[in-house]
């Protein structure tokens, strides 16, 4: 998952999480899809980065949260936060330990699939999620939206640019240009079409997938929608869910 490009970006990802589009669009949408987390649900935050969602889920009452990431820099930052905040989150760098396979009720994978640069890598990511889940467990993930606009400046008002360098070609590079505060940073991602994502899901033991529309926070929905309408009409990330049918119970 090209972890090296993320090792020095933990603080940027923390700052990026404060952008209005994440606070008022992404977070309500993802947490709405996750649903109730309680003392009986075990959650794996796959590709947890700096731990933004791990901390959210722990704060909402998840029984056990494990954050997994290949970037030592990201995990180091997340562990330092955990040492200070004591939320009970376990952070793991590298592959998921064998003893945790088949133990999770939910795998959350936000902005993870775009870092698969080939179809085998995409399948491997889904296989990791599938292997972590018990039978009937659910995957909630955000790939780049299959209907991504061609205009790189379409999302500039939200603090970033997204340039599909090869159009809607499976595995094609997408340049994510983050323009947040003092940051001016490029990250390489990859585009995957809906049929290809759904094929990879089926190959790794998941049942039928479902795409979800974005929702606004109550605070944003109470005001005029002229700022949010372009994103709602063409979100840069699609929310995709599927249940594991062949994992261990």
> What are 11-20's pLDDT values in tens digits?
777 878 888 9
Q: Which tokens go with 164?
A: 């599909």
Residue range 157-186, pLDDT digits in tens: 999 999 999 999 999 999 999 887 777 889
Q: Do the beta carbons of residue 96 and residue 77 sit within 8 Å? A: no
The answer, yes or no, to whether residue 91 has pLDDT greater than 90, is yes
Which band of pLDDT confidence, cut at 50, 70 and 90, is reported for residue 107? Answer: very high
pLDDT number for residue 248:
46
Tell me the pLDDT tens digit for each residue of 61-83: 888 999 999 988 899 999 999 99
pLDDT at 39 over 90: no
Select the CATH number that applies to the domain covering 3-145+193-224+236-243 from these four: 3.80.10.10, 3.40.50.150, 3.40.50.970, 3.40.30.10.
Answer: 3.40.50.150
Task: Check residue 207 and give its pLDDT.
Answer: 95
The pLDDT mean for the chain works out to 91
- Per residue in 124-147, pLDDT (tens digit) is 999 999 999 999 999 999 999 999
pLDDT digits (tens, 9 = 90+) for 230-242: 999 999 999 999 9
Would you say residue 2 has pLDDT above 50? no
- Residue 3 pLDDT greater than 80, yes or no: no
Beta bridge partners of 106: 43, 138
Mean pLDDT computed over 14-38: 90
Strand partners, 140: 108, 241
Q: Taking the model in full, what pTM does it have?
A: 0.92
pLDDT tier, 249 (very low <50, low <70, confident <90, very high otherwise): very low
**pLDDT over 90 percentage in the chain:** 76
| Strand blocks (E) in the chain | 42-46, 64-69, 90-93, 104-110, 133-142, 160-164, 173-178, 185-190, 210-212, 239-243
Q: Sorting pLDDT into bands at 50, 70 and 90, what band is 6?
A: low
Query: Pick the residue with more confidence: 18 or 6?
Result: 18
Is the pLDDT assigned to residue 149 strictly greater than 60? yes
**What are 16-22's contacts with CB under 8 Å, separation 24+?**
16/159, 16/178, 16/180, 16/183, 17/52, 19/158, 19/159, 19/180, 20/158, 20/159, 20/220, 21/155, 21/158, 21/159, 21/231
- Please give the full DSSP string across 110-171, using - where no structure is assigned: ET-GGG--SHHHHHHHHHHHHHHEEEEEEEEEEPBPTT--S-TTTTGGGTEEEEETTSS-TT
202: confidence class by pLDDT, cuts 50, 70, 90 = very high
What pLDDT, on the 0 to 100 scale, is given for residue 8?
58
């Amino acid at each position: 998952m090209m972890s090296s490009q993320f090792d020095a970006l933990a603080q940027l990802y923390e700052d990026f999480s404060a952008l209005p589009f994440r606070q008022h669009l992404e977070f309500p949408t993802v947490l709405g899809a996750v649903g109730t987390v309680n003392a009986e649900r075990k959650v794996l935050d796959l590709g947890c980065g700096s731990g933004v969602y791990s901390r959210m889920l722990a704060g909402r009452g998840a029984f056990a949260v494990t954050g997994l990431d290949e970037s030592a820099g990201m995990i180091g930052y997340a562990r330092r936060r955990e040492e200070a905040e004591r939320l009970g989150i376990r952070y793991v760098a590298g592959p998921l330990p064998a003893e945790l396979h088949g133990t999770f009720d939910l795998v959350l994978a936000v902005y993870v699939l775009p870092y698969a640069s080939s179809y085998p890598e995409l399948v491997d990511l889904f296989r990791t999620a599938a292997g972590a889940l018990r039978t009937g467990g659910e995957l909630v993930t955000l790939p780049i939206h299959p209907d991504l606009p061609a205009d790189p400046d379409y999302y500039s008002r939200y603090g970033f640019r997204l340039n599909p360098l090869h159009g809607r070609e499976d595995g094609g590079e997408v340049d994510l240009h983050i323009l947040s505060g003092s940051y001016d940073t490029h990250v390489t991602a990859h585009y995957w079409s809906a049929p290809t994502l759904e094929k990879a899901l089926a190959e790794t033991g998941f049942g039928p997938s479902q795409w979800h529309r974005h929702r606004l926070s109550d605070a944003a929905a109470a005001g005029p929608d002229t700022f949010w309408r372009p994103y709602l009409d063409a979100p840069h990330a699609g929310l995709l869910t599927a249940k594991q049918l062949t994992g261990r119970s």
